[in-house]
Structure 1
């Protein structure tokens, strides 16, 4: 039996890992299950293990740091990272550590079981042949998918992307390329009846499309969310529309689904793919006007349609941004704008289709946030609403709910982070603490953490640090057992003159005079 250590500071997730995975059937014994990474490290230092399955973001010691320390003790250790954050810098660090896999929360049991099977197979091979140099992690497909999505969305800087591609080539060289967006049709309607079957069917659909792309040597693809696939077409531009038309026909003939496809302008540089993909997303809004099960080319021949699509895209982006930012009044304004457009439709059925189109775009947007909202699966609710006002009211209520959920998640996450940071600072008051140092420890940029700190405490990081040190200094001065220079040292001031000046400025009294009065 191989010996595994599980680490996750969320007890619920930890218990789920421990109880829901058939460890013994996989030939694995869970010898340590810890919510405290320091306790896990202590166990690893004193015992031989084969597998480390760990969360990434944890207080005091991150999963990355825990893994580095564990690898120093056992260089052939297999590491599986589990993270709620689909962020490139985490994936890159995981690759640097030659991790076996990187899995996103919520954890899919079958995915984790598959990863563990490959890990034990590699351990069997290493035991029979001796250690070998591992290349990249077994779940490299996730990293490839993640990087391509960042590339299309424009959410990764050129320097970082270049460094990644230099080390882990994706064979994405081209003289010209176009970004393509492929969307499965009628997903929301289908998912009401048999959601699990539909999601499994979508997996098969996109695997089929991916195989078609790869076998034709047409470019690289990535899964964007449950119902959409992104695709960098690197073939001949003149053949693109015909190739996509054939793909639409093949999908209709060989799967239970139909697809709608849009594509952007031809570009000649990697960094320009973002603009091409933005165009493809805007053109996909034409599905509402042009219909599904087809290719939507960049050139729209219907009068005014391009302008309508642009306006729709702008309003939708504004509405989703307002939802993510918990700006409820702006949500209402955007809904009013959208249904002012719908008022021009000649038939009520078109209004229903328009509403479903909005919700489809909403689901795609939530996918970019790695979020889902179960109520979106109950699309039959729209068909039972009798008036446009009813639909607006339903949509407003739904968006308000999602906005509040996102806001509460953000607040909970930030509050928990700040609690961890406050403990971290209290335990290290004697050290030379800086915002950059603390941000690095918790895997944040200094600017981002500085903003979060101000929002949470109402103070800048430096103001908070001075206040905490001064409050601790008062407590120590009241005890009379420490000399003033010892108090200064215990609250992080190595220079007694600087401490005295800071104390006087903060309390309007010198430390010596305060002690005399206390």
Structure 2
């Protein structure tokens, strides 16, 4: 609701304006009524006013002078002048003061209402624009991150990207030469082990602050991909030496080291995704070229690059075999892995490979809510044992044993979950024996497909679902037949049988005796 200040030295006119206009209907309220310009200025110093409706011709301080002084206090004020016909020459001055309206006396309610609604329309537009500016200011970091990620992923809409970049003060255009880099902490999985959540958050914050300060100082654009990884977009003028400085600055005051991979220079926003893909490939080469340094996309070719790609394929196959308890496939993947080890030249290189394998394995296990170290009862800080093995065969034996242990661990957990599920299924059956218990109803209850649930049930019990239900019904009837108060058909009905002849045949087929004969022999 907009606040209105009424100013007129004629008290009757002032009272009429205040009382006879429907201010609520216009989404306005009269916050004060002043009989002089001086009184109005006092109100402006204490009240937030949006609109002044003032008579032009007033003694000592005219409405024109009031308007000039009021606009000095608040340039956003809207002024509506009211005056008699004989003073209409003041209209030109009013226009020079950017007046929003000029209404003649005697004031016509409809005329004033139209003028005020025009003023409200202008205020609404200004307020909406102000809110938009505020929203953009608040959301700019998120918009910038989303835009950069789209550019790096190769799905930019240039029609939308260019205006946003200009709005953010980034002077790129569709043919600007740019290149990218990826900053990745080294050995993150075990370096932060033992730190509390608060300490980890502090390290994360320190890294973020260091990267932001350095990039701002060097006029490098960046975005955080996740709590510890950063993508950088650099103009051609920024030398690689700046990235080497960043490696030192980023980890100041933290226990971390970082590796930066740099992609090739490309022309235009549409090619940034290619540069970033090469930057990620460069970071992966730290397995063979070492960490805590800048690795350029040109630093390794041929066998080393191919080896890094082959390694990821082998590890993916290894993890899948381990998860599905295919021990022969686990062993085959280990043999494949060690073919690559045979071509390595230094013990440190092999050690780095094994740390990489363990880190990747730990990351994979976390996707299925497992932890490499907890599952095996290992101390992260004691992985240096690998470096003390004298032969690659020792390393191979150690790693194979751990893979088999993990496979067994995951298999036991799966079996435990299946056993618990089957226990719940059997309880479900017991509660519903008097009803028509169907596999599809049970599958729907436990959110499985009928085929999958039936297979799990058979693997754990050795019985098909329908056979198990039939057996439990027969056992229930057999127990009920011990109650002499129940007739045979009543016992059958309480166990869920609707057809007595079918029940009698099934009972005799299973026990070799009719229900009646069974009862007589009790």
TM-score by length of 1: 0.50
TM-score by length of 2: 0.49
Larger Rg: 2
Query: Greater relative contact order: 1 or 2 (C-alpha under 8 angstroms, separation 6 or more)?
Result: 1
